[in-house]
Structure 1
Amino acid sequence: MKDKSPMMDKTGDIMAVICLLLLKLPKCETASGKVLEETYRQWVRYKEDCIKMIENEPLPQADLASLFCNRTFDKYACWPDAPAGSVVNISCPFYLPWYDKVSQGVVRRRCGSDGAWEREDSGQVWRDMSQCEEEKEVTSQELWVKQLMVSFRMLYTVGYSLSLFTLITALIILLSFRKLHCFRNFIHANLFLSFILRAVSVIVKDTMLERHWGREIIKQTDVTEILSHQAAIGCRIAQVMMQYCVLANHYWFFGEAHYLYSVLIASVLMDNNKYLPYVCLGWGIPLLFVVPWVVMKLLKENKECWAVNENMSYWWIIRFPILFASLINFLIFMKVLKVILSKLRASNQTEYPDYKLRLAKATLTLIPLFGIHEVIFIFATDEQTSGFLRYAKVFITLFLNSFQGFLVGVLYCYINKEVRTELRRKLRSWRMEAEIVCCGQ
């Protein structure tokens, strides 16, 4: 008795290990994406080697008339011909992500006395792969890290959502009142818009990644499809848009810093002819870095959703302009703060005895305006941090980046004296109009 075909195993057993892998790993590119892709590539290599063995190895020469079980590939391991009544031990497949831990283990099958692979009561071919399974003991530290990452995601989702609502309302206010239309508020409005686009792009990117890795895998073609370039187009576009919006946000920080420097220190009066340079700075310069990054990703790291940076030199195409703008903003921040301090000290002798409090207020106002928090970890890169420092960096960065839009909207719109005055004037106007209508009736 021999198997009908070396490749005929039940469809539900196809890619069992990869399906299991998706269940074990978190649904994010940094984990399941990279590991799944490499595992599938190794599995294909293992399968091709097995098929070559099946096609090229000669039949057993001892006794061609005797019964033996056919060589076969059951989508998990490669089995040679086996004499009837024997137990076959095969080394754990090398494509397993945890192969280093189980390299000495074996997977077993039994060849029955009738020359057919022994089956279970369910009809499935019996196979013992207990020695090849990953010994997964979830330690308290791993559980803590997992809960921490979930908390981080909730944190920045809430932060970006709150910032989004605050900034959209603030932008509507700045655009709705004619008296608020000035060059300073033009820059504020563009900064608000860059924050809005940044928040939207981050939320969309997370949604696309979750949708990409959240697909149900039933058969082998589903794995091939999920790893195809066509399936990753959506999340790649979302990734590119997020990188552009993050860069645009930083360069509108730069625009705010340059404007304040020009007015306060250089004493340059702004006119309508100055709009275009700021638009090019905020919306144009990011393209000079995003486009080369996209080209390098296409040519050198065209894998999945482009969220994993295997070669950090390509990532510096995005990182360098952000760090450069942050450093320039920090220098301008120090210069502006020095000017404010000198003016407050000069006025301290007459009418402003609380100049230290006013200085602190000005400092806290300028920090979110210039994006100075980026300088905190400017030299603590992702490659250099680990352990508590890494988690601290992730928390501070996510917290500040997600809630920064909310803080900027409140500081430069909702508690801005000019805006509040205009809102009160408009409310009085509406109230008077309502009273006139009521009296007229």
Structure 2
Amino acid sequence: MISPSEDGLSVDEVLTLRKRDCEIPENHTGGLECPREFDGWTCINTTAAGTVAHFPCPYFIFGFDPSRAGHRTCLEDGSWFRHPDSNKTWSNYTTCVDMEDLKMRNNVNLIYKTGYSVSLLALTLSIFIFFYFRSLTCTRIQIHKNLFISLAINNLLWLIWYETVVDNIPLLLANEVGCQILHVLLQYFMVATYLWMFCEGLYLHTLLVITFVTESKVMPILHLVGWGIPALLVAIYTSLRASSKDDTLHCWIHESLYNWALSGPVCLSMIANFVFLINIVRLLLTKLHSAARTSPRSSFKDKNASIRSKRSTISTPGIPSGRTRKAVRATLILIPLLGLQYLLTPFRPDQGTQWEYVYQVVSAVVTSCQGLCVALLFCFGNGEVVTAMKKKWRQCKLSKKKPWHSCSAVTSVSFSRSSYGHEMAAGPGDGPPMDGSVLGSCQL
């Protein structure tokens, strides 16, 4: 619990104040007792011999629960208990830590580190593939590159954060500028990742709604949204948080009241992507309805045409069911690309409830494995990438005596918009392009 005299003070100032107050002499009640003593964190008041002194856990120590209490034993001879290893008077602060909660959080941190490591590996390989094959240069792939780069850097920074800051109590107490800068960089690339996901959704939706899009003007705008706006938001967040002493402790590891400067725009981008996804599905099904009504009927010379027509009408009135399922499936795999999986964890349960552990595990898996998911769906499972790699492999097989870098692929790049409806209807399993965006396809 924070006393009124300690409100707004730094840790060093609090410790200096507590030590000074502890030096004020007390009125003794008589009898054998242990003297008043400052243990480095807390002032232990005079305690009768053979009793135990209880005191609140320091609120400024990371990992301590201020609602719990530490204790110190006064022996029968009027001396404080000494630890057998150090032979120094010892205050027991082990009760300040909830061991079950600590174990749970360590397990969650392990999930984060494992997921981020695997995702970073997959994203790094994906970025190499995108840059290596010069045929993959359309606008859609350019947006993928920026998203993958922001995700990869974000994952790398999180790994550094978990390895060097989270469990490093001396570093958290020192609260040096380096770990604060790391926190700010983390926030920047996290927001940049969300806004590049918004750029993915905005571009896909724009291609559907607007008939003609000037490709040369799209990327500068998206770069401004994806990299420029996060810089502005993080600058506002940093200036607000730096102005509050309570929010600058422990390498800024605790959540701040000023997180709204980042979480507000991020939530708006996710809502916008959700609207984009719903509208993409609606427009796609509308196109399929129109295609079904205008498509030529089966030849009247086919004796079984009328029978098949009746069956088709009974099973799927107006729309071919297979095409519809594939179209919806191709659109739904946009969810990890647009970051809509985060809508599964919008509200955090209260700390200590039975659902908190479930929430933490689900959140850790969803967050840390997003990079792996988008790499699998939009790079390794991308029909254009698969085609380019197969072509490179065939060329290298024809020139076995030449090194890998001498195998050059000459490909042409063109932007195809007219085949959009058929590609979406074909779905990710019917040939390139296999990623769910299937817009602005790079023809190989």
The structure-2 alpha-carbon separation of the partners of 1:87 and 1:156, relative to structure 1 and needing over 3 Å to count, comes to closer
Say which of 388, 410, 424 aligns to 1:422. Answer: 388
The aligned residue for residue 262 of structure 2 is 318
Is the aligned partner of 1:53 residue 2:25?
yes
Q: Secondary structure at the match of 1:52?
A: coil
Shift of 1:410: 1.4
Q: Distance in 2 between matches of 1:102 and 1:367?
A: 47
- Please, what TM-score do these two structures have when normalized by structure 2? 0.68
Say which of 160, 173, 187 aligns to 2:129. Answer: 173
Is the aligned partner of 1:354 residue 2:293?
no
Say which of 365, 375, 378 aligns to 1:409. Answer: 375
The structure-2 alpha-carbon separation of the partners of 1:234 and 1:424, relative to structure 1 and needing over 3 Å to count, comes to same
Q: Which amino acid is the alignment partner of residue 251 of structure 2?
A: C
Q: Is the 8 A contact 1:39 1:95 kept in 2?
A: no
The aligned runs of 1:357-436 (5 Å cut-off) are 357-378=325-346, 380=347, 382=348, 387-434=353-400
Q: Which amino acid is the alignment partner of residue 241 of structure 1?
A: L
Q: Secondary structure at the match of 2:74?
A: strand
Q: Which amino acid is the alignment partner of residue 74 of structure 2?
A: V
The structure-2 alpha-carbon separation of the partners of 1:346 and 1:315, relative to structure 1 and needing over 3 Å to count, comes to same
The aligned residue for residue 275 of structure 2 is 331
**Unmatched 5+ stretches in structure 1:** 1-36, 63-67, 112-116, 216-224
Q: Distance in 2 between matches of 1:202 and 1:246?
A: 10
**Post-superposition CA distance 1:135-177 (Å, at most 9, x none):** 6898xxx63x544433322222222111111111111111111
Q: Distance in 1 between matches of 2:88 and 2:112?
A: 48
Q: Is the 8 A contact 2:113 2:162 kept in 1?
A: no
The aligned residue for residue 254 of structure 1 is 198
Q: Secondary structure at the match of 2:252?
A: coil
The structure-2 alpha-carbon separation of the partners of 1:347 and 1:136, relative to structure 1 and needing over 3 Å to count, comes to same
The structure-2 alpha-carbon separation of the partners of 1:42 and 1:173, relative to structure 1 and needing over 3 Å to count, comes to same
The aligned runs of 1:59-208 (5 Å cut-off) are 73=37, 75=39, 92-93=54-55, 107-108=74-75, 110=77, 143=100, 145-208=101-164
Q: Distance in 2 between matches of 1:163 and 1:207?
A: 16
Shift of 1:364: 2.8
Q: Distance in 1 between matches of 2:337 and 2:89?
A: 64
Say which of 245, 248, 253 aligns to 1:302. Answer: 248
Q: Distance in 2 between matches of 1:94 and 1:183?
A: 59
The structure-2 alpha-carbon separation of the partners of 1:87 and 1:274, relative to structure 1 and needing over 3 Å to count, comes to closer
Shift of 1:52: 3.2
The structure-2 alpha-carbon separation of the partners of 1:102 and 1:259, relative to structure 1 and needing over 3 Å to count, comes to closer
- Please, what TM-score do these two structures have when normalized by structure 1? 0.69
Q: Which amino acid is the alignment partner of residue 408 of structure 1?
A: V
Q: Secondary structure at the match of 1:269?
A: coil
Q: Which amino acid is the alignment partner of residue 391 of structure 2?
A: R
Q: Which amino acid is the alignment partner of residue 108 of structure 2?
A: F
The aligned residue for residue 114 of structure 1 is none
The structure-2 alpha-carbon separation of the partners of 1:295 and 1:89, relative to structure 1 and needing over 3 Å to count, comes to same
The aligned residue for residue 285 of structure 1 is 229
Q: Secondary structure at the match of 2:158?
A: helix
Amino-acid identity (%): 21
The structure-2 alpha-carbon separation of the partners of 1:431 and 1:374, relative to structure 1 and needing over 3 Å to count, comes to same
The aligned residue for residue 314 of structure 2 is none
Q: What count of residue pairs does the alignment treat as equivalent?
A: 360
**Post-superposition CA distance 1:251-292 (Å, at most 9, x none):** 000111111011122223242232211111111111111111
Q: Distance in 2 between matches of 1:329 and 1:47?
A: 55
**Post-superposition CA distance 1:205-238 (Å, at most 9, x none):** 112214631x4xxxxxxxxx86344xx3222122
Q: What CA RMSD, in Å, does the superposition of the two structures yield over aligned residues?
A: 4.1
Q: Is the 8 A contact 1:255 1:281 kept in 2?
A: yes
Structure ranking higher in helix proportion = 1
Q: Which amino acid is the alignment partner of residue 320 of structure 1?
A: G
Q: Distance in 1 between matches of 2:13 and 2:141?
A: 54
Q: Secondary structure at the match of 1:305?
A: helix
Q: Distance in 2 between matches of 1:336 and 1:38?
A: 52
The aligned residue for residue 342 of structure 1 is 286
The structure-2 alpha-carbon separation of the partners of 1:226 and 1:250, relative to structure 1 and needing over 3 Å to count, comes to closer
Shift of 1:70: 11
Q: Secondary structure at the match of 1:268?
A: coil
Q: Is the 8 A contact 1:92 1:107 kept in 2?
A: no
Q: Is the 8 A contact 2:69 2:96 kept in 1?
A: no
Q: Distance in 2 between matches of 1:384 and 1:136?
A: 20
